[in-house]
């Protein structure tokens, strides 16, 4: 199949120097010297999402200092990518006072507590029908759901993990 040549007669160029740009080298990150969190935040670029992240952390710090509730909503990837120890530390420091998570986060949390591993091969599990079918995970989560009353599912799940001494992270992270 043959195509007519593209008509390039209407194309115009502009000077790179005259173009309006979003990023300037003056805004690039600076390497923090003392390792403090505030210096790290200050070192982030003032471009694109960097400036918004700085603004967010400023609001969060002010809210924490005033004793306000700081709630975080998370999905399964936050847990399965190993960020639970950071969330725990932020809760200890009262930088986060509430966490809402979806069912995938609870699944990964339970599996990590049980065996120190999680995140099955989804494609393989879909092909052979085993995706999401781990017996121990389902049994534990279903038991927590049955027992959850006024305490709520998340608190019940956490209590059961503690009572069963399933915390594998303590063995590897102190």
In the predicted model, is pLDDT for residue 86 greater than 90?
Answer: no
Confidence grade of residue 174 (pLDDT, cut at 50, 70, 90): very low
Q: What is the pLDDT of residues 122-135, one digit of tens each?
A: 888 899 988 889 99
Average pLDDT taken over every residue of the chain? 85
| CA dihedral for 100, 97, 139, 145, sign (positive or negative) | negative
- Domain residue limits, the chain: 33-68, 69-173
Confidence grade of residue 105 (pLDDT, cut at 50, 70, 90): very high
Residue of higher predicted confidence among 85 and 73:
73
Q: What b-and-e string marks burial along 19-41, b requiring 16 or more CB atoms within 10 Å of the CB?
A: eeeeeeeeeeeeeeeeeeeeeeb
pTM attached to this predicted model: 0.65
């Amino acid at each position: 199949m043959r195509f007519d040549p593209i008509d390039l007669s209407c194309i115009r160029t502009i000077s790179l120097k005259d173009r309006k740009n979003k990023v300037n080298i003056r805004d690039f990150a600076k390497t923090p010297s003392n390792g403090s969190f505030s210096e790290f935040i200050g070192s982030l670029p003032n471009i694109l999402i960097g400036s918004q992240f700085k603004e967010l952390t400023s609001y969060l710090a002010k809210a924490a200092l005033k004793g306000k509730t700081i709630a975080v909503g998370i999905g399964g990837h936050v847990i399965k990518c190993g960020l639970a120890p950071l969330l725990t530390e932020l809760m200890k420091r009262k930088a986060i006072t509430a966490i809402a998570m979806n069912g995938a986060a609870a699944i990964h949390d339970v599996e990590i507590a049980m065996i120190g591993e999680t995140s099955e091969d989804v494609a393989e599990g879909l092909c052979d029908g085993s995706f999401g079918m781990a017996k121990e995970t389902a049994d534990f989560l279903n038991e927590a759901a049955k027992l959850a009353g006024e305490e709520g599912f998340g608190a019940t799940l956490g209590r059961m993990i503690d009572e069963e001494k399933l915390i594998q992270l303590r063995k590897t992270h102190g």
